[in-house]
Amino acid sequence: MSTNAESVELVGDDVVGNVARAALFAALTGAFAYVSFPNPVSPVPVSLQVLGVFLAGIFLGPVWGGASIVLYLVAGAAGAPIFAGGSAGLGSFVGYTAGFLWSYPLAAALVGAVVHGVGDLRDPADAGLTRLVGGMVLGTVVIYALGTVGYAIVENGLAGAFAPDALARAFVVSALAFVPFEAVKMAAAVGIVRSDAATAE
Amino acid sequence: MTLTYRPGDTLAHRLDPRTKLFVQAAFALAVFARTGPRGLAAFTALVAGILLAGRVSPADALRGFAPALPFLVVAPLARTVVLSPAGSALPVGVDPAAAVEPALASYRVLLVLLVSATYLRTTPVRESRAAIERVVPGRLGRFLGVGVGLVFRFFPLLLADLRRVREASNARLGDRRSLPDRMRVVAAAGVRRAFARSDRLALALRARCFAWNPTLPELRFARRDYPAHCLGVALAASAFL
């Protein structure tokens, strides 16, 4: 039997709170993947994952919001059934919709950076509508850009992926049917921030 | 239907989780580098061997990835549609030959999904977590390890929270409201629950002296891991040859 004599290095109080929030928002984003609404123009239903990404950025800020979504991806890779439709595993990171997954942490960090600016976090309810919506629009652009490129790479390989017609086709097949719903999610996110639903601090 | 760990005593169960992660990553790299039909045939044989090593049925594995499957079929089909083809009066034509390349690409993704399914079936969460904490150095690794454990723990609770909210809302004719309203009601309740649960969790972690250096479960490479390492190295090398 061996003993370990190193001293215990406690996690600071602030960090404990942030780790707990990051983990809970990652779990919430995973649960959102199961909340789906029928999509009238595509057989694939609309789920709320992206709303989870927006909210993580808005409520946790650029650093911990991004970290929260990284946790979401790592937990999914380790086998938690939290990706679209309850799938999981490393395989999801190389499939046709993998680009969307890779974009989520960037998008969350970007939304957080636009809403909070640099420096200390502020109450998202105090951020102006322009910042909130602007941040989410930028996040959406990142998500769909990487999603489209990811689809084109899987279909055509790295060399042929950036041809204009390959990208256009990838966008039509993988993204077009979902874009209108992003506006609905943004409206929902603004509604949540403006209501007293969440008390961030 | 979700792929989850099932206890067992197959070769795939007994391998070290780090070995399995390495072989998975090397396989994905190799299969994306070798795209010809011949290379894919060889990889198919390898995948059959991997599934056998974990006693995973291919049908079960595919069912676990049901949401990804429509894209595998749609991608080659979308490719056959040609706008304003030469020598035809119609604005849209069909070119079956164009589907070959994307069909091979879809098949490649399918192979990676099957390997990934074997990992999920044969690796318990605590082993994946231990592997992450050992592979990723320092505090980042600890954060990821702890976080993954917490996500596994809290995801079912939040999912149940959201289901209850939806049922309660539907019972009060909430399903007749507009789409943005319905999304807002469900998501706002989710955020409220997430914050309440994270506050209680943070308090509990502080009370229990949450530390950066916890005791990790033991992981040790055994002799059976070495052939698997060789396989991983060979796969990774084949991507660059």
Query: Do the Cβ atoms of A88 and B213 come within 8 Å?
Result: no
DSSP string computed for chain A? -----PPP-BPPHHHHHHHHHHHHHHHHHHHHTT-EE--TT-SSPEESHHHHHHHHHHHHHHHHHHHHHHHHHHHHHTT-S-BGGGB-SGGGGTSTTHHHHHHHHHHHHHHHHHHH-SSS---GGGS-HHHHHHHHHHHHHHHHHHHHHHHHHHHHHHHHTTSHHHHHHHHHHHTTTTHHHHHHHHHHHHHHHHSSS----
Q: How many domains does chain B have?
A: 2
Q: Is residue A81 part of a domain?
A: yes
Q: Chain A to chain B, count of Cβ pairs less than 8 Å apart?
A: 258
**Torsions phi, psi for A124 (to 5 deg):** -60, -25
C-alpha A54: how far from chain center? 6
Q: What confidence tens digit (pLDDT) does each residue in B143-177 have? A: 999 999 899 989 999 999 999 998 998 898 888 88
Q: Are residues B142 and B230 in the same domain?
A: no
* Residue B158: domain span: 137-207
- Cβ burial of A46 (10 Å; 0-12, 13-18, 19+) is buried
* Residue A79: domain span: 14-194
Q: Is residue A1 part of a domain?
A: no
Q: Is residue A199 part of a domain?
A: no
Q: Are residues B105 and B176 in the same domain?
A: no
3-state SS, residue B35: coil
Q: Are residues B99 and B31 in the same domain?
A: yes
Q: Is residue B159 part of a domain?
A: yes
- Which residue in chain A is spatially nearest to B105 when comparing CA positions? A155
What is the separation, in whole angstroms, between the first and last Cα of chain B?
39
Among the listed ranges A42-46, A60-64, B48-52, B87-91, which one has the minimum average pLDDT value? Answer: B87-91
Alpha-carbon distance of B86 to B192, in angstroms, equals 59
Cut 0.90: pTM above it: no
Q: Is residue A201 part of a domain?
A: no
Q: Is residue B32 part of a domain?
A: yes
Q: Is residue B119 part of a domain?
A: yes
Q: Which residues contact A185 (CB under 8 A, 6 or more apart)?
A: A48, A50, A51, A54, A136, B183
**ipTM of this complex > 0.95?**
no
Residue with tokens 């309203």: B181
Query: Do the Cβ atoms of B191 and A11 come within 8 Å?
Result: no
Q: Is residue A162 part of a domain?
A: yes
Q: How many domains does chain A have?
A: 1
Residues on chain A touching B158 (C-beta within 8 angstroms): 24, 27-28, 30-31
Q: Is residue A8 part of a domain?
A: no
- Which residue in chain A is spatially nearest to B71 when comparing CA positions? A96
Band (B84; pLDDT cuts 50, 70, 90): low
Q: What is the CATH number of the domain that holds A60?
A: 1.10.1760.20
Q: Are residues B57 and B142 in the same domain?
A: no
Q: Is residue B143 part of a domain?
A: yes
Q: Are residues B104 and B56 in the same domain?
A: yes
Residues on chain B touching A75 (C-beta within 8 angstroms): 147-148, 151-152, 155
Q: Is residue B163 part of a domain?
A: yes
Strand-pairing partners, residue A10, are: B211
Closest Cβ opposite residue B119 in set A89, A94, A157: A89
Two structure tokens written together for A88? 């999981």
Q: What confidence tens digit (pLDDT) does each residue in B182-230 have? A: 888 889 999 999 999 999 999 999 998 888 877 777 888 989 999 999 9
Among the listed ranges A38-42, A85-89, A129-133, B95-99, which one has the minimum average pLDDT value? Answer: A38-42
Q: Are residues B80 and B119 in the same domain?
A: yes
Q: Are residues B118 and B225 in the same domain?
A: yes
Alpha-carbon distance of A194 to A58, in angstroms, equals 12
Q: Is B155 on the interface with A (CB under 8 A)?
A: yes
Q: Is B177 on the interface with A (CB under 8 A)?
A: no
Interface of B with A in 56-95 (CB under 8 A): 64-68, 70-72, 74-75, 78-79
Q: Is residue B6 part of a domain?
A: no
Two structure tokens written together for A189? 């996110």
Residue B134 has pLDDT above 90, yes or no: no
Q: Are residues B176 and B119 in the same domain?
A: no
**Torsions phi, psi for A83 (to 5 deg):** -85, 175
The percent of residues in chain B predicted with pLDDT above 90, rounded, is 38
Among the listed ranges A38-52, A123-137, A174-188, B128-142, which one has the minimum average pLDDT value? Answer: A38-52
> What's the one-letter identity of residue A2?
S
Q: Are residues B119 and B147 in the same domain?
A: no
Q: Is A163 on the interface with B (CB under 8 A)?
A: no
Q: Is residue A200 part of a domain?
A: no
Band (A140; pLDDT cuts 50, 70, 90): very high
**Torsions phi, psi for A99 (to 5 deg):** -55, -35
Closest Cβ opposite residue B116 in set A6, A8, A91: A91
Q: How many residues does chain B have?
A: 241
Residue B70 has pLDDT above 90, yes or no: no
Q: Are residues B63 and B98 in the same domain?
A: yes
Q: Is A67 on the interface with B (CB under 8 A)?
A: yes
Q: Are residues B93 and B173 in the same domain?
A: no
Q: Is residue B92 part of a domain?
A: yes
Q: What is the pLDDT of residue B105?
A: 85
Query: Do the Cβ atoms of A89 and B188 come within 8 Å?
Result: no
Q: Is residue B213 part of a domain?
A: no
